[in-house]
Amino acid sequence: MKAFDLLPSALIGAVASARSMTPMAALAGAHLARRKTPGTLRLLTHPVFTGGALFMGAGELFGDKMKSAPDRTVFLGLLARVMSAGIAGAALAPKGRERLGAGLAIGTAVPLAYLTLAGRKRAMSEMGQTKSGLIEDALIVAAGIAVVVWATERRR
């Protein structure tokens, strides 16, 4: 195993720190585009997972702009990050290293959730909740897609 083989798992954990459902939505999109993940996870190929992940990813982007949206560091927010980062980190890890990839993604997502929250709060104070959220959405969704595309291979 090369040193950079687990980098996609760490990067998808960073994505999960800011948007908990984006890693799952990016994996669902990769599945629809017939891209194969390095790690073996049967869950990723189930149509209910694919549709649900895309729906939840879009829903999170809308819900984040609401004044009543909780901080990403509340218990349920962190739990969603742990689950999403773990599944995505395992899927993007080399075959046989799925557990290590999951642990690395979770270990990246949880502490970074506090840092990304601090950055978002600062941006909110300067430009407001909606504008800062839209900018964060664009950056995080693009990062999630880029990581998944980079880590997957196109089926022939």
What is this structure's pTM?
0.92
Cα-to-chain-centroid distance, residue 98: 16
Q: Which two tokens stand for residue 76?
A: 């349920």
Mean pLDDT across 79-105: 95
Bridging pattern class, strands 153-154 and 35-36 = antiparallel
pLDDT confidence bin for 64, thresholds 50/70/90: confident
The residues spanned by each domain of the chain are 3-154
- Residue 2: the pLDDT is 77
Mean pLDDT of all residues in the chain? 91
- Residue 124: the pLDDT is 92
137 versus 47: the higher-pLDDT residue is: 137
- Residue 156: the pLDDT is 40
3 versus 62: the higher-pLDDT residue is: 62
- Residue 67: the pLDDT is 75
Alpha-carbon gap, residue 36 to 42, rounded angstroms: 11
Cα-to-chain-centroid distance, residue 1: 24
Mean pLDDT across 6-12: 97
Q: Comparing C-alpha atoms, which of 141, 152, 120, 107 is closest to residue 26?
A: 141
